[in-house]
Structure 1
Amino acid sequence: MPKPPKKEFDLRERIDKIKNSGLSKGKEKEKETDPNDMLLPLSNRIEKILGIFQGKPLKSTTMNYLILYDIENNKVRRLIAKYLEKNGCIRVQKSVFLVHSDYKKFESIRKTLAEINEVYDNEDSIILVPLNISDARSMKLIGKNVNINQIIDPPNTVFL
């Protein structure tokens, strides 16, 4: 007998299910890594970021935002990551997303994240930072071999 199709829940319904399951601070201490939390290869992430910063000039109604979070609960963290990706956010690192959107969409994302944080007992933090191009150009990167200057201001090359 085939399995019945999985019911699709929206983020709010999933968080309500977690809340109703009795989840509270300190009850879940999962240490395993989830394959769904895996990042795209670095070259793919750079390509997506380049698409934002080197694209057409921004309309005055759009902005770039960084969304950073520190969420203890694996289920909630996974659901929020999926929600952000579904809403067009680009995963830069495991807990850092970049979004290019208008204020209305960004505000909708912010309100949803605030509602989620209110639903269950936690000590999580979510930080939303507006990021203009000049700020992005002044970023410095330590660690992985990615030259942030090439992402923001790639060198011009002329072939003759």
Structure 2
Amino acid sequence: MFDLKERIQKIRESGLLAHPEQQRQQLDPEDALLPLQSRIQKILKIFQGKPIKSTTMNYFIMYDIQNNKVRRLVAQYLIKNGCVRVQKSVFLVHSDHKKFEEIKQTLVEINDVYENQDSIILVPLNISDARSMKLIGQNVNIEQIIDPPNTVFL
């Protein structure tokens, strides 16, 4: 368990104690949701990149956070740590285990700092699971994203 001084330091690192003018200067992640095509390209880059080493994994990070300020700061933290925003409260990250554990621990500490009924879900995602995903709603063929067809030009 962390003592009070360490907790306050973690809160400062997360940005929860930033001055209002500093917070206004930061880009609001709720407004920074990239267009669908850009998000698809980032997701493709993760899934179609170099073969995944056994020390790395894909993870979904999803949250339901009521407090606007905390939700915004968590989103900023995730983006800063290389997570790709898939939807407003859903992120995808390709990370080694050590970095993922660091992200997870920071989220635990942020959640423990204040009284809440929030939830944060972290889900490991292997390629075969990604290929079996189905998308309902937006007109995006998930199979095209995960496993695009091969084309031969003659």
Same fold (TM over 0.5): yes
What's the CA shift for 1:158?
1.2
What's the CA shift for 1:35?
5.2
Q: Are 2:109 and 1:115 aligned?
A: yes
Q: Are 2:36 and 1:36 aligned?
A: no
Amino acid at match of 2:49: G
Q: Any unmatched runs of 5+ in structure 2?
A: 1-8, 19-26
Give me the whole-angstrom Cα distance separating, in 1, the residues matched to 2:41 and 2:121.
24
What residue is the counterpart of 2:21 in the other structure? none
What residue is the counterpart of 2:95 in the other structure? 101
Q: Are 2:126 and 1:159 aligned?
A: no
Q: Residue 79 of structure 1: which of 73, 91, 97 is its match?
A: 73
Where 1:57 maps in the other structure, the secondary structure is coil
* More helix per residue: 2
What residue is the counterpart of 1:22 in the other structure? none
Kept after mapping to 2: 8 A contact 1:11/1:83: no
Percent of aligned pairs with the same amino acid = 74
What residue is the counterpart of 1:12 in the other structure? 11
Question: What is the TM-score of this pair, normalised by structure 1?
Answer: 0.81
Question: What is the TM-score of this pair, normalised by structure 2?
Answer: 0.84
What's the CA shift for 1:104?
0.1
Please tell me whether Structure 1 or Structure 2 has the larger radius of gyration of its CA atoms. 1
Give the paired residue count: 135
Kept after mapping to 2: 8 A contact 1:11/1:80: no
Q: Any unmatched runs of 5+ in structure 1?
A: 1-9, 19-33
Kept after mapping to 2: 8 A contact 1:137/1:153: yes
